Structure 1
Amino acid sequence: MNIDLTHQTALVTGATGELGRVMVRTLALCGANVVIHYLNNERVALDLQKEIVATGRKAMIVQADVTNLDSVMEMKRKIFENFDRVDIVVANAVIQYTWRHILDQPPEDYLGQFDSCVMQSVYLAKAFVPAMIECSRGRMIGINTECSMQSFETFSAYAAGKRGMDGIYRVLAREIGVHQITVNQIAPGWTISDKDRKNNTELQEAYENEVPLKRRGTDQEIANVVAFLASDLASFITGAYVPVCGGKVMPAI
């Protein structure tokens, strides 16, 4: 049984980031054409595009501010000049900031997380779901976090933004399920990426000791779940929050 995304087009926001790059490569490996979204890092986006095109898949890069509706709609316009449709949308972009205690966290950090988690999800839905409805098919995949199930110190802005995102995705799953569009979230733990491999920071014993599998996950393991949820193998899964964190968090029933 293989994951086959041939003839489908996938958009990954934040595609030049540590996890985003691996998602793009994995979706392309499964046969999808890819749209590589970036905000500032055009060089990495171009390099990634060349890499994907060399595999025989189609790829385009597109710059946009996913916290701005006009920018997202302009991104949509550019994409539809090159592709007939977008079958898979992966909301991976998020604003980076310094984590502090609530009393010290600047209010603008909360607004930034709301914009990049909640409003990005709303804008992507407004931009790309209508065409999915016309095709009676589509995949909306949001990258959440294990942190949204935790209440640890300094997590407040990030957890608040991702909890808000969770609400949008669950409601959206109910609203558009009738059109055979699935809406799911993936919740990575503290994931090993190329940055860790470069800096030799893969091992984090204090964290790993709290993980039932006693290790950190990898960027490829996150991308594998993205590919699965994007595929027909997951056609009857919607409204799910899927932790990919070795069991560090476990949603209750």
Structure 2
Amino acid sequence: MNLNLSNRVALVTGATGQLGRVMARTLAQCGADIAIHYRNNEAQAIKLQDEIKAMGRRAAIVHGDITSLEAILGMKETIERELGSVNIVVANAVAQYKWTTILEQSPEDYESQFESCVMQSVYLAKAFAPTMIEAKWGRFIGINTECAMQNFPTQSAYVAGKRGMDGVYRILAKEIGEHQITVNQVAPGWTISDQDRENNTERSESYESTVPLKRRGTDQEIANAVAFLASDLASFITGAYIPVSGGNVMPAI
């Protein structure tokens, strides 16, 4: 039994980000060709493209605003021209902002989270689900967060956006499941990334003490969950919200 994504094309939004780059590499290592989406970091996109091509996989770079349906449809045209139809969509991009209390958080921050979490998910479905329906195979994987279950102070805009995303994904799973398309979410905990390794900030005793596994997860562990859900090994899993947080949050039955 192996995790084989050969002859699949995966789009990773926010692929130049700390987690996105590892997801893109891991999907490529499993055999997929990769559409690398970026918003600002063109240099990282080019570097990632070179890495993926060195693995013997094809890679295309797409630039665009994931909160715009027009931009996403333009990305689709580019990907189909260079790689073919997208089979796997990983919705990883999210707007960044400074967290503060509800009383201090600006309305614009709530709007940015709604646009980048909820509307990105809607637009990606509108753009890529029809081709998956024709093919009778597809994967939508949304990157959610453990914060959606924690509801801690200062998390409100982020949690509101991700909980909205959760609703879209659960309903999408029911609406397109008959076409053998799965729709799932991976919810990372506070994850160690390249940035932590460079800054020597991998450890946080206060956070680790709350985690049953007594450590922070790694970017590779998040990417492993994404790759599993993208594969045929997960063909009967849909509508799931899967924390990859060392047990720090546990959905109840």
What TM bracket, shorter-length normalisation? over 0.9
- Work out the percentage of aligned pairs sharing the same amino acid: 70
SS at 1:18's partner residue? coil
2:60, 2:83 within 8 Å by CA — same for their partners in 1? Answer: no
1:118 alignment counterpart: 118
- Alignment partner of 1:209 is 2:209: yes
Match in the other structure for 2:65: 65
Distance in 2 of aligned mates of 1:158 and 1:142: 14
> Counterpart in 2 of 1:132?
132
Q: Secondary structure in 1 aligned to 2:65?
A: coil
CA apart distance, 1:150: 1.2
Q: Distance in 2 between matches of 1:150 and 1:217?
A: 17
Residue 50 of structure 1: SS of its match in structure 2?
helix
Alignment-derived partner of residue 12 in structure 1: 12
| 1:153-211 deviation per Cα after TM superposition (whole angstroms, max 9, x unaligned) | 10000000000000000000000000000000000000000000000000000000000
Distance 1:190 1:55 in 2: 29
C-alpha separation between the residues in 2 aligned to 1:83 and 1:28?
A: 13
- Structure 2 distance, partners of 1:25, 1:197, is 18
Q: Which residue of 2 aligns with 1:197?
A: 197
Q: Aligned residue for 1:102?
A: 102
Instruction: Please give the alpha-carbon distance, in whole angstroms, between the structure 2 residues aligned to 1:151 and 1:88.
Output: 30
CA displacement 1:106-151 (0-9 Å, x = unmatched): 0000000000000000000000000000000000000000000112
Aligned positions of 1:1-253 closer than 5 A: 1-253=1-253
Give, in whole Å, the separation in 1 of the partners of 2:210 and 2:128.
Answer: 39
Secondary structure of the residue aligned to 1:21 is helix
- How many angstroms does 1:235 deviate by? 0.1
Secondary structure in structure 2 of the residue aligned to 1:140: strand
CA distance in 1, matches of 2:182, 2:57: 24
What one-letter code is carried by the residue in structure 2 that aligns with 1:223?
A: A
What is the deviation of 1:84?
2.3
The offset of 1:83, in angstroms, is: 2.4
8 Å CA contact retained: 2:58, 2:83: no
Aligned length: 253
How far apart, CA to CA, are the structure 2 residues paired with 1:208 and 1:197?
A: 17
Mind listing any 5+ residue stretches in structure 1 that lack a counterpart? none
**2:33, 2:83 within 8 Å by CA — same for their partners in 1?**
no
